[in-house]
Chain A
Amino acid sequence: MTKTVLIVDDSSTVRQQVAMALKQAGFATTEAGDGLQGLTMIDGSKTIDMVICDVNMPNMNGLEMIEKVKAKPQHKSLPILMLTTEGQPAMIKRAKEAGAAGWIVKPFDAGQLVAAAKHLTKT
C-alpha cells in the first residue's frame, strides 16, 4: 500500500524537492505551508503515515507543531522527521524529547531522506 507523507515547510522549493524525492521512491505526498496548516491537516486526515517538517516556519514553528501533535494520544505513533540547519540544537533536542523520530540536515541528501522515510513507515 502506498504510504502518504505530509511535508510541512514554508518554502515551496523545499516542499517540491522533498516531494519529488519521495514520489520517485513510491510515496504519495501532501503539503502544508506552515505548522498551523500542518497541524490542521494531521488532525483532519487518517491517511497520513509520516510527517516531514521544517523547524522555522511562520504562524507555528515545527517544534510547536510537533509538541501539539504528540500531545494527542492518537498521534503518538505518527513518525515525524525534521528538516533543519545546523543552527538550533536546543530546538532539535526539545523536538526529540517531544517525540520526533529524528532529523536530517539541510541541504538534504535525497537518498538519506528516502531511507529515513522507508524506515519510519516500515516500507
Chain B
Amino acid sequence: MGTLSESLARQISQMTLGTTMQLAKYLHLPAEITPFEQRYLARLNKIALVFFWLHIPVFMVVAWAANTGPWLALLLGVAVLAGPTFAYRTLSNPRAISVIYGVTAMLMGGLLVHFGQGPVQIEMHFYFFALLAMLCMFANPMVNLAAAVTVAVHHLVVWLLLPASVFNYNAQWWVVLVHAAFVVLETTAACYISREFFDNVIGLEKIVQARTKTINEKQRDMRLILDNVQEGLITIDLEGRMSSECSQVILTWFGAPAPDLTLAAWLGQVDAAFGEWLALGLESVRDGMLPQAVTIAQLPARIRHGACTYEVHYQLVGNVAADAEAGVHASAAEKILVIITDISERLRQQASERHQAEMLQLFQHMMRDKAGFVEFLTEAEELMRNVTTGRYDSLDHLRRLVHTLKGNSSIFGMRRLAELCHEMESGIDQERVAPDPTAIANLQLAWTEVRADLEKLLGERRRNAIEIEDADYAAILRAVIKGVEPAIVTRMIESWVLEPTSKRLVRIEQQIKGLAERMGKSHVSVAIEANDIRFKSEHFAPFWSAFIHVLRNVVDHGIENADERQQRGKSAQSHIKVATSVEHDRFVVTVEDDGPGVDWDKLRARADQLGIAGVELMDREALMFLEGVSSKATVDEMSGRGVGMTAVREVCERLGGTIEVSSKSGVGTCIRFAFPKDQSVYEGHPAILRRAG
C-alpha cells in the first residue's frame, strides 16, 4: 500500500511539476525582443511614466478634498515614482521597466485608496482593477503577475498595520480574501490576454519573419533547381501568357523575352513556324471543341534555332491531376507546363552513328559490285542535278525523280538520303506543291556529304588495280599447269576486267522488286540466272541503262493482280525471271514473266488511236516498243535522259542485237535480247576451256 501511495504521490508531483513548468513558460515570454516589440514598449513605457506623474496633482486634489493631506500625497507620490523613473532612465530592457511599472501601478492604486479615505474609499478600489486591466497593454503576463503580487502584499500589510488606509469600516479578514479572489480572477484573465496579445500581435513580426524565411528557403531551393536544371521549364496559361519564373536555361537559349510577350510570340521570333502553330494550337485548346488531351497533343513539338533543335512537351497542370486521382471527371486545366529539351546533341550523335553505319554499308556494296555502284553514282548525280536545279516538267515528274533517287539510295543503303527523299515525296503527295528551298538544300547537303564519303571510298578504286577472285586465280593456275594454249589463257586473264552478269542481275532483281512495290504489286518473286557470263561494261552500258524500261513494262503489264491469277488457276505469287546466257554465237538476255501475256489487238488499237502511221504493217516487237514511247508517264520520267522504250530498241540495234517477243495469252511473256558474242562478251572459264578441249 505504502509503495502504491508513494508512486501515486510521485506521479502527482511529476504532473504538478510538468504543469508548473508549462505555466512558467506561458507566463515568461521568450527572451528575444523583436525590433517591433522594442519600439512598442519604448513608446508605451514613456507614455506610462507620464501617466504615473499625472497622478500626483490628482492625488493632491483628492487628498485636499478628503482632508488627508495634499502635501503628504505629493511626498508619497514622488517617493513611489522615484523607483520607476530611475528604472526608465537606467534599464535597457523595456520588459524589465514594464514589470516595475506593474508594481508601480498597484502602489499608485494604494495611494489613491489611502488619500481617498472617506465615504468613497471602497469605490477607490475600482482603480486597482482598472489598472490591472490596463497593464495588459504591455503584452507581458509578468507585468500582470507583478501587479497582482504587489496588490496582495499591499492589502495584507496595510490591513494589518494601518486598516484605515484600505477600509472605511472595520473589515474582517475574509473581506480581504474577497478582494484577493477578484484580483486572482482578473489576473488570470489578464495574463491570458497579455500572452495572446504578445503571441498574435506583438510577436506577429516574428511569425511573419519565420514564414518569410521558410518561403525564402523554399524559393531559394526552387531557384536553385530552376537555375541548374537542363530542361527549359515554364508555365503558361491557355492564352500563352508566361509565368514570371522559368528555368534559366531557356533564357540562355532564346534570350530574355520582352515584357508582356506570349510564349508563341517570343519563341516565334526564334522559329516563326513554331510560334504560329503554337498560337493556333492554343486557340484550339481554349475553344474546347476537342478534349484538352487531344488538342494539347497537337501543339508543335520541335523548335529549330540555328544549328539547334529543341523538343517540346506540354503537360496540363492545375486541378487535372487531383481530379483524376479523386476519380472525378477532369475539369479543364488552366495552366500548361512547357518542358523544352535541347536534343541537338542527341540528333547529332544519332546522325553520326547512322553515318558510320551507312559508310559501312556503302563500303560493303562497293566491294560487292563496284561497276553497279559507279553506275548508280552517275545516275544519282544526274537525278540530283535535275531535282536541285529545277529540271523537271511537272510536279509528278519531280515526284518520280525523287522516288527513283529514293529507290536507288535505299538499294545502296544510303538511309539518310532515302529518308530525305521519302519526306520530300510524301510532302509533294500531301501538299501538292514543290518542296520548299530548305528541303531541297537539305537533300543537296546530304548528297554532298555522301559524295564526299564516296570520294574517300572510291579513292581506292582510282588506283586502277584489278581484283582477282580466288576462283579466277585457281582457274588460271590450273589452265597454265595443264598447258592450255596461250591465246585461251590470255582470254581468261582479259576476263578479269569484265563485269560479271551475276552482279548486274542482282541489281536488276532489286530494281524489279522496287518497281513492283511502288506499283503496289509486292506479290512477286524474282529469279536470276547469270550462267557465269561476263561482259565489257562500257560496251553494254547504254543497253543496261535503257533496260529499266523493259523492267517497268514487265512489272506494269506482266503481273496480274492476285484475283486474276486465282481465276486463271495460277499461284498467288507472280514470277519474273531474268537470265543471261550464251547460245551459239549470241549473248542472250531474257526477261520472262508468268503474267497475262500481251494483248496484241489492244496494243495495236491503242497505237492506232495515238495516230502512229503504219501500225498494221508493224511486227509485234516494233509495236510493243512503241507502246512505251506513247505512255506519257514514261516519257516524262525519262525525258531528262532522252531514252524511252524506243531507245531500248535503238540501242539494241546499234549493238547489232535483235529483240524477240513471245507471248501466250494467260500464260506469260518472254522478251529475248540477242547480241553478237564478240570480244566484249566472255562465256566463263569452264565454257572456254571446254571449247579449247
Contacts and interface: CB of A to CB of B under 8 A. Distances in A.
A107 B421 CA distance: 17
B298 A119 contact: no
A119 B290 CA distance: 7
B290 A120 contact: yes
B294 A116 contact: yes
A28 interface: no
A102 interface: yes
A104 interface: yes
A85 B298 contact: no
Interface in A103-121: 103-106, 109, 112, 115-116, 119-120
Contacts of B427: 85, 87
A109 B289 contact: no
B245 interface: no
Given A87-B427, A96-B284, A119-B290, 20 more contacts: A11-B429, A56-B430, A56-B431, A58-B432, A85-B430, A86-B273, A89-B276, A89-B280, A101-B289, A101-B290, A102-B284, A102-B287, A102-B294, A102-B298, A103-B298, A104-B294, A104-B298, A112-B297, A115-B294, A120-B289
Interface in A78-109: 81, 85-89, 92-93, 96, 101-106, 109
Interface of B: 273, 276-277, 280, 283-284, 287, 289-291, 293-295, 297-298, 300, 427, 429-432
B297 A109 contact: yes
Contact of A103 (B273, B284, B293, B432): B284
Contact of A56 (B276, B284, B289, B432): B432
A119 to B, nearest CB: 5
Contact of A96 (B273, B283, B293, B429): B283
A119 B284 contact: no
B106 to A, nearest CB: 79
Contacts of B289: 101-102, 120
A101 B293 CA distance: 15
Given A11-B429, A85-B430, A101-B289, A93 B280 contact: yes
Contacts of A85: 427, 430-431
Contacts of B280: 89, 92-93, 96
Contact of B294 (A56, A87, A119): A119
B291 A86 contact: no
A81 B290 CA distance: 9
A91 to B, nearest CB: 10
A96 B282 CA distance: 13
Contacts of A120: 289-290
Interface in A44-87: 54-56, 58, 81, 85-87
Nearest to B296: A112
Contacts of A104: 294, 298
Nearest to B426: A85
**What's the interface size class on A, roughly?**
20 to 34
Contacts of A58: 432
Nearest to B432: A56
B298 A87 contact: no
Contacts of A87: 427, 430-431
A119 B287 CA distance: 14
Main secondary structure of the interface of B (DSSP, over half): helix
Contacts of B276: 89
Contact of B290 (A56, A89, A93, A102): A102
Contacts of B430: 11, 54-56, 85, 87, 106
A86 B290 contact: no
Contacts of A89: 273, 276-277, 280
Contacts of A101: 289-290
Contacts of B277: 86, 89
Contacts of B294: 102, 104, 112, 115-116, 119
7 contacts: A87-B427, A87-B430, A102-B290, A104-B298, A105-B298, A115-B291, A119-B294
A116 B294 CA distance: 7
A103 B432 CA distance: 19
Contacts of B293: 112, 115
Contacts of B300: 86
B432 A102 contact: no
Nearest to B433: A56
Contacts of A55: 430
A119 B431 contact: no
Contacts of B283: 96
A87 B284 CA distance: 17
* Leading 9 A-B pairs by shortest Cβ distance: A102-B290, A101-B289, A89-B276, A116-B294, A112-B294, A56-B430, A116-B290, A119-B291, A56-B432
A81 B283 CA distance: 15
A109 B430 CA distance: 18
Nearest to A103: B298
Nearest to A10: B429
A81 B289 CA distance: 10
A55 B433 CA distance: 13
Contacts of B284: 96, 102-103
A105 B152 CA distance: 88
Contacts of A56: 430-432
Contacts of A106: 430
A89 B275 CA distance: 10
A102 B283 CA distance: 10
A33 to B, nearest CB: 13
A120 B427 CA distance: 29
A102 B298 CA distance: 10
B273 A102 contact: no
Nearest to A120: B290
Given A96-B283, A112-B297, A116-B290, A88 B431 contact: yes
Nearest to A101: B289
Contacts of B298: 102-105
